[in-house]
């Protein structure tokens, strides 16, 4: 037992003195045999340790270079594939959006490929570090084919939820679901492009291209429908020290229009009825600065659900050099509060 312990001790000491066991992959011929291009994606790097650089940092630098070399080969191929496909869709309405996630797809290859292995070696005799990155094409194929199925199912379910919300006239929530779909579609497209790099003979059925295009068309069509603004009927009663005005109503319409709302004078055409009552009252006068409150009641009625979906009472303070300006300031400031509370309800 003692003899075994001594042998183990001397082995450890020898390894610490003379470095790691030299890996076979340092030989390019062996690399090509053990990791053929038909079955693996690879990246290789070797570099001298720079002045002032520790061996550990040099090894990490070599690993990064090897990984980057592997990813760069994938990125270049994927870039040409996605650009070609995007160009073929230039006549479609969805071209601009397609181009956007093509760019994201290309950038996403900066991340580590699932299943990638990176090995390293430090040759102390010549003060050189080496790194080798590799990943099995078969492993990548199985993983990303499974991911495509999972993401397509998730995308299908999310689109169905959006459609249900659209049918119940909850357009804001439906739009939120569509926003959630976009990154899923990017992941699907990335996985499909990666599979075409791994296997040039991969079929459209294996990539599930038909289902992907069908769901993408649903996304575009639903976006187009939801882009049509909801119609709001606004009823505003505003009193500025006994004078009837429409300061809050007009400014609020301008704010809501930015969120896709349109306005109608016919209550029967409205998706929502917005009722606003504003009464301005004096608060105080301090050293020539007047302060007023805009006491505001807000009620939003959903004509399809036939119920009030939001109501509130807001007392907004405003100050200025005159009573009139202070009242207007209070009315101006209450608009941002109301629009913030209404956001996402249409």
Highest mean pLDDT among 129-133, 181-185, 267-271: 129-133
**pLDDT(327) > 80:** yes
Evaluate whether 181 touches 156 at the Cβ level (below 8 Å).
no
pLDDT digits (tens, 9 = 90+) for 34-59: 999 889 989 999 999 998 999 999 99
**pLDDT(24) > 80:** yes
Query: What's the rounded Cα separation, in Å, for the pair 302 and 313?
Result: 19
Our CA angle for 69, 74, 77, nearest 5°, is 125
Nearest to 186 by CA among 92, 107, 263: 107
Nearest to 216 by CA among 71, 321, 95, 81: 95
pLDDT digits (tens, 9 = 90+) for 96-107: 444 444 444 444
Query: What's the rounded Cα separation, in Å, for the pair 40 and 333?
Result: 63
Exposure of 151 by Cβ count < 10 A (0-12 exposed, 13-18 middle, 19+ buried)? buried
**For residues 86 and 292, which has the higher predicted lDDT (pLDDT)?**
292
What is the percent of the chain where pLDDT is above 70?
Answer: 83
* pLDDT on residue 102: 44
Least confident of 6-20, 30-44, 319-333: 6-20
* pLDDT on residue 293: 94
**pLDDT category of residue 334 using cuts at 50, 70 and 90:** very high
Query: What's the rounded Cα separation, in Å, for the pair 154 and 180?
Result: 10
* pLDDT on residue 1: 53
pLDDT digits (tens, 9 = 90+) for 224-269: 887 676 889 999 999 999 999 999 999 999 988 887 788 988 888 7
In the chain, which ranges are E strands? 40-48, 117-123, 128-136, 230-240, 243-245, 261-263, 272-286, 289-302, 307-320
Q: Which residue has the tokens 């907004």?
A: 316
**pLDDT(87) > 50:** no
Residues facing residue 243 across a β-bridge: 240
**For residues 274 and 199, which has the higher predicted lDDT (pLDDT)?**
274
**pLDDT(94) > 70:** no
Report, as an integer, the average pLDDT of 4-13: 49
Report, as an integer, the average pLDDT of 17-32: 82
**pLDDT category of residue 197 using cuts at 50, 70 and 90:** confident
Q: Which domains does the chain have, with CATH numbers?
A: 16-137 (3.10.129), 141-227 (no CATH), 230-342 (3.40.50.10610)
**pLDDT category of residue 279 using cuts at 50, 70 and 90:** very high
Tokens for 109?
Answer: 């290859």
Indicate the Cα dihedral angle 154, 155, 158, 164, nearest 10°: -130
* pLDDT on residue 280: 94
pLDDT digits (tens, 9 = 90+) for 104-121: 444 444 445 788 899 999
Number of C-beta neighbours around residue 45 at 10 A: 21
* pLDDT on residue 266: 85
Q: Which residue has the tokens 């229009």?
A: 257
* pLDDT on residue 258: 83
* pLDDT on residue 77: 64
pLDDT, the chain, mean: 83
Report, as an integer, the average pLDDT of 215-232: 85
């Amino acid at each position: 037992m003692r003899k075994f312990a001594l042998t183990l001790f001397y082995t450890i000491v020898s390894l610490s003195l003379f470095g790691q066991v030299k890996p076979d992959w340092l030989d390019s011929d062996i690399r090509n045999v053990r990791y053929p291009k038909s079955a693996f994606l690879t990246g290789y790097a070797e570099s001298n340790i720079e002045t002032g650089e520790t061996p550990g940092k040099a090894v990490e630098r070599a690993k990064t270079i090897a990984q980057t070399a592997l990813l760069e080969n994938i990125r270049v191929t994927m870039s040409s594939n996605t650009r070609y496909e995007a160009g073929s869709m230039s006549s479609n309405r969805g071209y601009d959006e397609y181009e956007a996630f093509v760019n994201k797809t290309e950038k996403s290859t900066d991340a580590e490929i699932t299943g990638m292995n990176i090995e390293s070696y430090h040759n102390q005799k010549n003060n050189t570090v080496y790194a080798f990155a590799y990943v099995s094409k078969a492993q990548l194929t199985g993983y990303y084919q499974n991911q495509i199925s999972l993401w397509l199912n998730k995308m299908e379910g999310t689109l169905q939820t959006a459609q249900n919300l659209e049918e119940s006239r909850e357009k804001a929530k439906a739009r939120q679901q569509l926003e959630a779909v976009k990154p899923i579609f990017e992941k699907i497209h990335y996985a499909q492009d990666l599979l075409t790099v791994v296997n040039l003979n991969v079929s459209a059925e294996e990539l599930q291209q038909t289902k992907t295009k069908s769901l993408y068309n649903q996304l575009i069509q639903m976006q187009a429908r939801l882009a049509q603004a909801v119609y709001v009927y606004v009823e505003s009663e505003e009193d500025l020290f006994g004078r009837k005005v429409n300061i809050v109503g007009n400014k609020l319409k301008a704010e809501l229009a930015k969120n896709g709302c349109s306005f109608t004078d016919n209550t029967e055409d409205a998706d929502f009825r917005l009722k606003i009552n504003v009464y301005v009252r004096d608060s105080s006068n301090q050293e020539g600065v007047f302060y007023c409150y805009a006491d505001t009641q807000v009620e939003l009625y959903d004509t399809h659900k036939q119920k009030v979906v939001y109501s509130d009472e807001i007392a907004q303070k405003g100050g200025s050099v005159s009573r009139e300006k202070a009242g207007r300031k209070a009315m101006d400031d209450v608009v941002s509060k109301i629009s913030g509370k209404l956001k996402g309800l249409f």
